[in-house]
Structure 1
């Protein structure tokens, strides 16, 4: 049985927490996992199974997630980023491995830019580096459903905009994943008071992935059918990180962490322990 500790923190009076699984004989620096919007500390079982045997494993309920306090009025990514920095300070590890997926990729990238000397390795997935006009229209539609109290309509739009529904692209268990994501979005609509404010912030601001990064070994990965930000855009973003590498996981879209959860966890374990992933059977061939 692994030693588990939930550590409460505050930032400007806002309460949040992180979950720490201790590894008495770690083979690499602690691994911090930051997920998508409203993805909390208990949502990473496959990562835990692969990472906890080799490193201290950290997940978080950032402000606005789980039992944590909502984000303060007007607060957004900068506040959430400051909460991530508080976790780094509280861990007191000289360096950490940092994994960020979707919204968590923005937080992880910003943290690495602020603290490059504290990041041993950086892994970013599903990087939403661009918001298209169609996506903004979907965000507006989803927000409108919430404003009218139509949680079912919100969940349907939110699920549809996150998944590749093109039947010509092979994604195993597509219907099952769609039902799961829709149900998750319905839960968010009913139980997360900050969701409308989150959508409104997304409409007036764009994710920040500017400024580049150097001195941190980095891996950017995506599902090969990601329809939120194309693999080509994510590959171009990876090129702004000096010395980074890029990987695409076959038969998956933006929800690659659900559709190919064991493969994402394996890729992370390889990267964070310095092992090669070139022979991983779940990756698409690199373009020549």
Structure 2
């Protein structure tokens, strides 16, 4: 590998190098302080639509101690090549071929969100090429609620309901109930929403392919054997803390750290707290016992970490109605209600559709929901949050109803 030695933030906007592996084109940038640096490089793998420029902070932080490679696989980041036939495992193997072709030493991947699944699979399938592994927002899609919401997003895009898709996706990435804690500016939320609303047909197809790969992934039957560090925002509702802890427990040599005042975009919301963990981990040093802005989760808690991620309670007036877009309607009793979902009792016929339902609460707007699990006449569900006004009204009602110290049952 011949590294560029002229790194500056604007270099991340320049045309990347390209490597062809059979029919597939991989795009990358590679930087180091010396052109022939022999040390293990850090490999940055971002979310499906994250461009290289999003990593300017990470590159600047890491470059003094490590070579840094930014890689876009087909359909990822700035790489526009569509690849519907490639699975997550196929993409992980392309990383292995990339390392082999460029004769790289063992890599140290940092995988974020969608990139975390690719990085973890690479570590499992090519252990000899992976020295250390850092994951943030591990996207295994094992939780029923997460899968149903991703499926709903794809269905809305297929129906041309871009506004509803964008609003639901935004709520999944940036927890609106914790905006004061995370400090995510309203302007940033609006900018991200505009980006989602303006997806081109090509970008929509890329999103569909990337999401379908996650949904088709059967799960990890093996886990990384190399030293592994998992970081998770304490308010991350899309990829929750307990899921990170379970993944860490299955790894051979792992640590799991909670990032304070952050949700799914922890590395961008709390860059200093994350960087304080990047440095010792990538250098093979012990993590600090305490670090500003984070809490190292004790191993004894990993398999017992509470799955309760948001407060729920029985409403004072539990009477409600379920209404379907095609005309179905029935009475319901709300047993638990939270911002992301709840549990109700209703005379729910087994052949009723899985989509198109709304919950009508007394004196409140209609809330779109997806059914999850049914036990006799009791149904658990998640809200899609595809209507911003309805979501805001629900949040306001819950803020009045819930006590500050109340902790009730949880995520779906």
TM-score by length of 1: 0.87
User: 8 Å contact 1:29–1:96 — kept in the other structure?
Assistant: yes
Distance 1:162 1:33, change over 3 A: same
CA drift of 1:112 comes to 1.0
Task: Report if the CA contact (8 A) 1:40-1:62 is conserved.
Answer: no
Cα offset, 1:18, TM superposition: 1.0
Q: List, as ranges, runs of 4+ consecutive aligned residues in structure 1 with deviation greater than 4 Å.
A: 25-28, 187-191
How big is the shift at 1:180?
4.0
Q: Report Cα offsets for 1:65-103 as digits up to 9, x if no partner.
A: 355343333323123212212321233122121111111
- Find the partner of 1:242 among 213, 235, 252: 252
Out of 239, 242, 249, the position equivalent to 1:232 is 242
User: CA–CA distance in 2 between the matches of 1:153 and 1:209?
Assistant: 32
Alignment correspondent of 1:80: 91
Matched residues, number: 286
Contact 1:34–1:108 (Cα < 8 Å) also in 2:
yes
Q: 1:35 and 1:197 mapped to 2: Cα distance? A: 16
In structure 1, the residue matched to 2:208 is 196
Superposition pairs of residues 1-288 of structure 1, within 5 angstroms: 2=6, 6-24=16-34, 28-167=39-178, 170-173=181-184, 175-188=186-199, 192=203, 193-203=205-215, 205-206=216-217, 208-214=219-225, 216-278=226-288, 279-284=290-295, 286-287=297-298
Task: Provide the rounded CA distance (Å) in 1 between the counterparts of 2:270 and 2:218.
Answer: 25
- Helix, strand or coil for the counterpart of 1:36? coil
Report if aligned partners of 1:170, 1:251 keep a CA contact under 8 Å in 2: yes
CA radius of gyration, larger in: 2
Two-structure CA RMSD over aligned residues (Å): 2.7
Q: Take 1:179 and 1:141, find their aligned partners in 2: how far apart are those partners?
A: 22
- 1:28 positional shift: 5.0
**1:189–1:286 distance in 2 versus 1, CA, 3 Å:** same
Question: Could you tell me how far 1:44 is from its partner in structure 2?
Answer: 0.5
- Please state how far the C-alpha of 1:188 moved relative to its aligned partner: 4.2
Tell me, in whole angstroms, the C-alpha distance in 1 between the residues paired with 2:114 and 2:144.
19
Q: How many Å separate the matches in 1 of 2:47 and 2:279? A: 20
Contact in 1 for aligned 2:82/2:206 (Cα 8 Å)? yes
**Which structure has more RCO (C-alpha within 8 Å, separation ≥ 6)?**
1
Deviation at 1:227, TM superposition (A): 0.7
C-alpha contact 1:100 1:108 (8 A) present in aligned 2: yes
Q: Distance in 2 between matches of 1:90 and 1:250?
A: 40
Query: CA separation of 1:90/1:53 partners in 2, compared to 1, >3 Å: closer, same or farther?
Result: farther
Asked if the contact 1:16–1:67 (Cα under 8 Å) also holds between the matched residues in 2, the reply is no
Alignment partner of 1:146: what SS? helix
Gap regions ≥5 residues in structure 1: none
Higher strand share: 2
CA distance in 2: counterparts of 1:156 and 1:109, whole angstroms: 29
Quote the Cα distance in structure 1 between the aligned partners of 2:258 and 2:228: 14
Cα 1:267/1:187, change in 2 over 3 Å: farther
